[in-house]
């Protein structure tokens, strides 16, 4: 990629990504068992009404689309940051223990303490956050390195996953409610869910602005970044915490949705390069658009069944990811 | 005494197999200094300690009279910059973007946009390294030599008083090597920037630098001007080569002396001859066979046991051992194994007389190595 091509692609991406997001939002609002046209949506959004369509948009589709939007944005941002700070293009929120930690906390809440199920988002969030801190501490030995963090992450993920599976086997009669959550879905997401996740998500997305400079410097390697005056270890810890904040917000609202954090930033990087000033916003918009779009498909195409969006994303994401991997076999 | 840009005191570091001992030296301000020495002698490690990429177990580093620990990371990066060995993969960048990275220690987290002054400094750094024409080229499309110049320009853009370079010329062809060294010399002379580099090329180190620091096995062997450091003694001590050194202006001319093995190699032959009553020679030989362990001695080269039976009055048994030196033989006579085999035995009465002869001989052709029992058994089996 030369400079002209890169500049052109950056411009196209910065224009296309918001348009795609807008399109997916309108697609999500208008399609379903009842189709609602764009002009009707506009009227509903801008005026108070009491019709059935009003209810569908305002109480069902809009909160669901917004939760999906924030979930996708958070996952993509977390993935983009982690791939930078770990210097590993295969990093995603899974490796810092967010999935396993959040998953275990959620399963414990749903299976062992069902009376506290209203705390589920908070528990998932806390689990995600705590496990990422534990992984960072385990990997610390007079400093840390991406490889150590990834190894500690694999070990902690395996342990937490085993505990989670153990609980599900022992209490197999109560697992029914857990499964959709584990496969990651937006079914029935309401204003309540949105109001829980939005503060974390918005704060996290805002803080990604601060991630741009350190992430760009880490691209040069730890030593070079230190020589340029960066406190690399501290920055890495803070950026991991930021990622777990972002991913924790997503997990608490939508369960375990994989591949968005991995595939979206990776694809964006191939298109427009690694500069975080462009990579981050385009990934965030792209991730949001992808989840909203995929959720609408998962909700409408398989009528009468509603597929959890996580399953759909994994089915599409996995082969796409393999193609990326083969194209980029020169990664080291 | 000169002003010290970098002052190192009692630096010690142990890292796995690798060690630095008692590094105490000063790097003069405004000069070009080269750290030389064989691979693995600790040169790059020392640079990493100076730049705080590694922390020493013991000792003090002072930069411009101030403890390294008293600088913040960012302050440090505004005082001292370093070009690491060209190993790291860089992201896809234009040359100018890479050089602009050099400005980041001067930028705050919230004010990252490059000011006009930043742009001027970037222009200056690129001009100094003559890479202005590559402004918008992608870095990875440049040749190795041009890449290296761009990386040095990035360090220059940091605008530090001290620049460290780890093997800046190692992968370059001779014309780029000389070009880069010449540019560094110019930067040093025109801007008074202290330059410290790890170099493998002794000629270039001597020709371009004012001060040399020679290291071996984690220690500083000698320091000083090129003329005082690069000597025959130094080459023997640090690189273990024999060579004549003379200086042609600034360039040292190093002529290796081929090793003369014939002159050097000598050995000691110890012949222990015993006269034995007629027909009893075998008994003594049997006795010698029971004395073991001589094969394991240091400096032992070989052993023959000779029996002569064609004299009239006595049999003659000679035990001939060959040694690297007299000391090696004496070490054997003082060894536990030797004493054990001789102490609690009376001299048997069949020995008439015994004498030992030492000969120091030059080796013109090496004798065959001792034949081992296993080798014989093996040969038979085949």
B90 touches chain A (CB under 8 A): yes
DSSP calls for B70-133: GS-HHHHHHHEEEE--TTSPPPS-BHHHHHHHTTGGGS-SS--S--HHHHHHHHHHHHHTT-GG
B113 touches chain A (CB under 8 A): no
Q: Quick: pLDDT tens for B122-151.
A: 999 999 999 988 888 999 888 888 999 999
Higher pLDDT, B287 or B50: B50
Residues 6+ apart with CB under 8 A from B258: none
Q: How sure is the predictor about A331, in pLDDT bands with cuts at 50, 70 and 90?
A: very low
Q: Which of A181-195, B64-78, B299-313, B336-350 has the lowest mean pLDDT?
A: B336-350
Average pLDDT of A42-54?
76
Chain B residue with Cα closest to A214: B109
Q: Which of B52, B90, B101 sits opposite A228 (nearest CB)?
A: B101
B73 touches chain A (CB under 8 A): yes
B112 touches chain A (CB under 8 A): yes
| Together in a domain, B60 and B116 | yes
Q: Which of B91, B104, B112 sits opposite A229 (nearest CB)?
A: B104
| Together in a domain, B233 and B330 | no
Chain A residue with Cα closest to B53: A223
CA of B2 to nearest chain A CA: how many angstroms apart? 27
pLDDT > 70: percent of chain B: 88
**Per-residue model confidence (pLDDT) at position A332:** 38
pLDDT at B167 over 70: yes
Q: Which of B84, B88, B105 sits opposite A229 (nearest CB)?
A: B105
State the DSSP H helix or E strand holding residue A330, giving kind and residue range, or none if neither: none
Q: Quick: pLDDT tens for A290-303.
A: 999 999 998 888 87
Interface of A with B (CB under 8 A): 1-3, 6, 210, 212-213, 217, 219-221, 223-224, 226-231, 273-275, 332
Q: Is the ipTM of this complex over 0.90?
A: no
| Together in a domain, B311 and B355 | yes
Q: How sure is the predictor about B246, in pLDDT bands with cuts at 50, 70 and 90?
A: confident
CA of A78 to nearest chain B CA: how many angstroms apart? 20
| Together in a domain, B250 and B306 | no
Alpha carbons A213 and A277: distance in angstroms, whole number: 8
**Average pLDDT score, chain B:** 84
Average pLDDT of B6-34?
88
CA of A83 to nearest chain B CA: how many angstroms apart? 13
Which of A206, A207, A229, A239 to probe by mutation at the B interface, max B CB count within 10 Å?
A: A229
Number of domains in chain B: 2
If contacts are CB pairs under 8 Å, which of residues 43-62 in chain B contact chain A? 51-53
Q: Which of B73, B78, B89 sits opposite A231 (nearest CB)?
A: B73
- Indicate the residue among B241, B256, B271 that finishes a domain: B256
Q: How sure is the predictor about B266, in pLDDT bands with cuts at 50, 70 and 90?
A: confident
Q: How sure is the predictor about B258, in pLDDT bands with cuts at 50, 70 and 90?
A: confident
Cβ distance A217 to B158 less than 8 Å, yes or no, reads: no
CA of B54 to nearest chain A CA: how many angstroms apart? 10
Average pLDDT of B226-242?
87
Q: The domain spanning residue A143 has which CATH number?
A: 1.10.3470.10
Chain B residue with Cα closest to A274: B91
Q: The domain spanning residue B313 has which CATH number?
A: 3.30.70.100
Burial class of B346 by CB neighbour count within 10 A (0 to 12, 13 to 18, 19+): exposed
| Together in a domain, B271 and B225 | no
Q: Is residue A32 part of a domain?
A: yes
Instruction: Count interface pairs A-B at CB distance under 8 A.
Output: 63
B138 touches chain A (CB under 8 A): yes
Q: The domain spanning residue B185 has which CATH number?
A: 3.40.50.300
Q: For strands B162-166 and B194-198, give the pairing.
A: parallel
Alpha carbons A139 and A150: distance in angstroms, whole number: 9
Domain of residue B369: give its range: 262-378
Alpha carbons A99 and A157: distance in angstroms, whole number: 8
Q: Which of A90-99, B253-262, B346-355, B367-376 has the lowest mean pLDDT?
A: B367-376
Cβ distance B105 to A228 less than 8 Å, yes or no, reads: yes
Higher pLDDT, A328 or A277: A277
pLDDT at A1 over 80: no
Q: Which of A269-283, A318-332, B110-124 has the lowest mean pLDDT?
A: A318-332
Chain B residue with Cα closest to A213: B109
Domain of residue A273: give its range: 3-327
Alpha carbons B382 and B378: distance in angstroms, whole number: 6
Q: Is residue A332 part of a domain?
A: no
**Average pLDDT score, chain A:** 84
Number of domains in chain A: 1
Q: Which of B73, B88, B112 sits opposite A224 (nearest CB)?
A: B88
CB under 8 Å, gap of 24 or more: what pairs does B168-172 form? B168/B83, B168/B197, B168/B199, B169/B199, B169/B201, B169/B204, B170/B85, B170/B200, B171/B86, B171/B144, B172/B144, B172/B145, B172/B148
Q: Which of B89, B104, B109 sits opposite A228 (nearest CB)?
A: B104
Chain A residue with Cα closest to B48: A223
From chain B, the residues in CB contact with A224 under 8 A are 84, 88
**Per-residue model confidence (pLDDT) at position A290:** 93
| Together in a domain, B239 and B283 | no
B102 touches chain A (CB under 8 A): yes
| Together in a domain, B150 and B293 | no
From chain A, the residues in CB contact with B75 under 8 A are 229
- Indicate the residue among B235, B256, B277 that finishes a domain: B256
**Per-residue model confidence (pLDDT) at position A330:** 47
pLDDT at B265 over 80: no
State the DSSP H helix or E strand holding residue B239, giving kind and residue range, or none if neither: none
Higher pLDDT, B32 or A147: B32
- Indicate the residue among B238, B256, B274 that finishes a domain: B256
């Amino acid at each position: 990629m030369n400079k002209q091509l890169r500049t052109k692609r950056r411009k196209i991406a910065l224009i296309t990504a918001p348009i795609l997001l807008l399109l997916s939002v309108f697609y999500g609002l208008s399609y379903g068992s009842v189709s609602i046209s764009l002009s009707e949506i506009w009227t509903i959004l801008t005026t108070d009404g009491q019709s059935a369509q009003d209810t569908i948009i305002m109480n069902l589709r809009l909160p669901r689309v917004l939760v999906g939007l924030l979930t996708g944005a958070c996952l993509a941002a977390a993935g983009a940051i982690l791939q930078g700070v770990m210097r590993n293009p295969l990093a995603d929120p899974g490796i810092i223990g967010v999935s396993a930690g959040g998953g275990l906390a959620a399963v414990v809440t749903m299976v062992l303490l069902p009376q506290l199920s209203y705390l589920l988002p908070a528990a998932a969030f806390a689990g995600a956050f705590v496990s990422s801190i534990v992984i960072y501490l385990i990997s610390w030995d007079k400093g840390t390195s991406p490889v150590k963090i990834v190894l500690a992450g694999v070990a902690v993920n395996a342990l937490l996953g085993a505990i989670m599976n153990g609980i599900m086997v022992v209490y197999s009669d109560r697992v029914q409610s857990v499964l959709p959550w584990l496969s990651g879905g937006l079914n029935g997401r309401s204003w309540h869910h949105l109001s829980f996740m939005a503060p974390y998500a918005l704060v996290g997305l805002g803080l990604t602005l601060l991630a741009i400079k350190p992430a760009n410097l880490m691209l040069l390697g730890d030593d070079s970044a230190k020589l340029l005056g960066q406190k690399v270890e501290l920055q890495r810890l803070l950026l991991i915490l930021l990622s777990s904040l972002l991913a924790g917000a997503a997990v608490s609202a939508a369960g375990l949705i994989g591949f968005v954090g991995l595939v979206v930033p990776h694809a964006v990087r191939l298109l427009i390069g690694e500069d975080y000033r462009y990579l981050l916003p385009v990934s965030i918009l792209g991730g949001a658009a992808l989840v909203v779009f995929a959720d609408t498909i998962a909700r409408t195409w398989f009528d009468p069944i509603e597929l959890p969006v996580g399953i759909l994303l994994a089915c599409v994401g996995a082969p796409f990811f393999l193609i990326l991997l083969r194209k980029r076999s020169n990664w080291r | 005494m000169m002003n010290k840009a970098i002052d190192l005191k009692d630096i010690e570091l142990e890292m796995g197999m690798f060690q630095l001992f008692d590094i105490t030296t000063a790097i003069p301000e405004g000069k070009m200094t080269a750290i030389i020495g064989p691979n693995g002698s600790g040169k790059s490690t020392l640079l990493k300690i100076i730049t705080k990429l590694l922390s020493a177990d013991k000792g003090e580093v002072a930069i411009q009279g101030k403890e390294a620990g008293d600088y913040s990371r960012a302050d440090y990066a505004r005082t001292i910059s370093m070009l690491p060995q060209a190993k790291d993969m860089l992201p896809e960048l234009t040359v100018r973007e890479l050089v602009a990275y050099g400005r980041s220690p001067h930028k705050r987290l919230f004010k990252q946009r490059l000011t006009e002054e930043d742009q001027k400094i970037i222009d200056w750094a690129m001009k100094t390294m003559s890479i202005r024409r590559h402004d918008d080229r992608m870095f990875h499309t440049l040749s190795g030599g041009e890449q290296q110049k761009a990386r040095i320009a990035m360090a220059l853009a940091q605008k530090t008083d001290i620049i460290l370079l780890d093997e800046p010329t190692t992968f370059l062809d001779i014309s780029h090597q000389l070009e880069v060294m010449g540019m560094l010399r110019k930067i040093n002379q025109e801007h008074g920037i202290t330059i410290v580099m790890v170099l493998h090329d002794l000629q270039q180190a001597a020709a371009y630098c004012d001060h040399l620091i020679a290291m071996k096995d984690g220690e500083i062997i000698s320091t000083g001007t090129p003329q005082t450091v690069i000597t025959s003694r130094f080459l023997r001590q640090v690189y273990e080569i024999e060579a004549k050194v003379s200086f042609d202006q600034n360039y040292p001319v190093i002529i290796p002396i081929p090793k003369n093995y014939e002159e050097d190699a000598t050995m000691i032959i110890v012949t222990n001859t015993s006269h034995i009553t007629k027909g009893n020679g075998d008994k003594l030989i049997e006795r010698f066979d029971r004395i073991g362990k001589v094969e394991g001695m240091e400096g032992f080269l070989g052993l023959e046991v000779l029996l002569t039976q064609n004299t009239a009055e006595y049999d003659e048994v000679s035990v001939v051992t060959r040694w690297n030196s007299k000391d090696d033989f004496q070490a054997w006579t003082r060894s536990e194994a030797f004493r054990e085999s001789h102490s609690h035995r009376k001299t048997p009465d069949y020995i008439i007389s015994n004498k030992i002869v030492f000969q120091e001989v030059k080796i013109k052709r090496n004798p065959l190595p001792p034949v081992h029992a296993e080798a014989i058994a093996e040969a038979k089996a085949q």
